[in-house]
């Protein structure tokens, strides 16, 4: 019978020779730092492009990963200073002592670590287990490629739960973690890199340059007045939110950014969050960015700065109108955000 007598292709007519996989072999050593002692090492932007990375068995080292990765594990390190660019999924830090970190990730997991400091941006709730002497602060860092790396890793600079820690081994007799002082500086913990390799980097650690907005997190508020500001999708909402934050920092430093959250809302969520259905159409357009500010006269101040920074913009902005409504709106917005995170 002729195999081509029907219209369907008949694979019995093919004789496919066996061929070896000619793809280039991966040099595993290019994606790990292992067993280093007293060295300064790093990876520059574009060298990893979203691959996995491993750091293990290092001591007294300065380690800099200036690129985005998929996942990172750090095991059995002692007295190391480590910067890690945006991590698409998780970082697991295990059996480390006396280490200091600056890192951004989707999930942060810490186990069997002691005397560890981290300047952290974490999209979900940071988790620690069987650890002690852990101190955390809000992420702060800038170099020209960092904002793009956040986007390539699928992370929003506005989703940062750095201070909302869950301790799996909580003990009523001992505090396993605390927050670093508000005036803590990244460079006092993880120093700027030195050496010829890092000369192309243009790092700036000034707070007004940080890619991630500096927030006070769960620290005690100084005022009983807070304000919710929400930037709706459209008209470059991320740029407008960052411009507003910068304007608040420059003109009213007494009003402190408490927390930020970028999320997706449905039309029927608007009534529950804002107490009115006036924003049903606005929330359906795309992601919204919510900012909580705290300080005396923060509502009036936020209204004034919005008017200044939003001049000429077509984007819609919501600002609380009174202390009473602001408290409920903040609760509604961030409670909704927590519900989304737990789904």
Q: Looking at the predicted structure, is the pLDDT value of residue 15 above 60?
A: no
Q: Looking at the predicted structure, is the pLDDT value of residue 113 above 60?
A: yes
Is the Cβ–Cβ distance between 328 and 227 less than 8 Å? no
Q: If pLDDT is split at 50, 70 and 90, which confidence band does 12 have?
A: very low
**Which tens digit of pLDDT belongs to each residue from 56-111?**
999 999 999 999 999 999 999 999 999 999 999 999 999 999 999 999 999 999 99
- Does 268 or 295 have the greater pLDDT score? 295
Which residues of the chain form beta strands (DSSP E)? 32-34, 40-43, 53-56, 62-65, 72-75, 81-94, 100-111, 114-122, 127-129, 132-138, 166-167, 177-179, 226-231, 256-263, 288-294, 317-319
- Which domains are assigned to the chain? 28-198 (2.160.20.70), 220-342 (3.30.70.141)
- Does 17 or 12 have the greater pLDDT score? 17
**Which tens digit of pLDDT belongs to each residue from 157-214?**
999 999 999 999 988 888 899 999 999 999 999 999 999 999 999 999 998 899 999 9
- Supply the pLDDT for residue 341: 62
Q: If pLDDT is split at 50, 70 and 90, which confidence band does 14 have?
A: very low
Is the Cβ–Cβ distance between 240 and 262 less than 8 Å? no
Mean pLDDT, range 31-53, rounded to an integer: 97
């Amino acid at each position: 019978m002729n195999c081509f007598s029907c219209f369907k292709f008949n694979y019995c007519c093919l004789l496919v020779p066996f061929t070896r996989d000619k793809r280039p072999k991966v040099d595993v050593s290019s994606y790990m730092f292992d067993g280093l002692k007293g060295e300064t090492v790093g990876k520059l932007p574009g060298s990893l492009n979203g691959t996995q990375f491993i750091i293990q068995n290092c001591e007294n080292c300065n380690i800099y990963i200036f690129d985005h990765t998929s996942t990172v594990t750090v095991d059995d390190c002692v007295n190391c200073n480590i910067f890690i660019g945006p991590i698409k999924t998780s970082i697991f830090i295990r059996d480390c002592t006396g280490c200091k970190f600056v890192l951004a990730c989707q999930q942060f997991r810490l186990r069997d670590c002691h005397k560890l400091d981290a300047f952290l941006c974490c999209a979900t709730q940071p988790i620690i287990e069987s650890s002690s002497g852990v101190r955390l602060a809000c992420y702060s860092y800038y170099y020209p490629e960092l904002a793009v790396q956040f986007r390539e890793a699928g992370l929003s600079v506005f989703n940062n739960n750095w201070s909302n820690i869950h301790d799996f081994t909580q003990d009523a007799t001992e505090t396993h973690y605390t927050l670093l002082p508000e005036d803590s500086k990244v460079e006092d913990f993880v120093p700027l890199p030195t050496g010829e390799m890092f000369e192309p980097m243009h790092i700036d650690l000034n707070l007004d340059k940080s890619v991630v907005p500096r927030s006070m997190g769960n620290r005690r508020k100084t005022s009983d007045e807070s304000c919710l500001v929400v930037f709706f999708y459209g008209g470059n909402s991320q740029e407008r939110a960052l411009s507003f934050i910068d304007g608040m920092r420059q003109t009213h430093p007494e009003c402190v950014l408490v927390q930020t959250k970028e999320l997706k809302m449905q039309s029927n969520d608007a009534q529950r969050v804002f107490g009115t259905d006036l924003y049903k159409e606005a929330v359906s357009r795309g992601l919204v960015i919510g900012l909580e500010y705290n300080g005396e006269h923060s509502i009036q101040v936020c209204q004034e700065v919005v008017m200044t920074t939003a001049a000429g913009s077509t984007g819609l902005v919501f600002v609380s109108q009174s202390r009473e409504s602001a408290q409920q709106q903040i609760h509604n917005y961030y409670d909704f955000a927590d519900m989304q995170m737990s789904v």
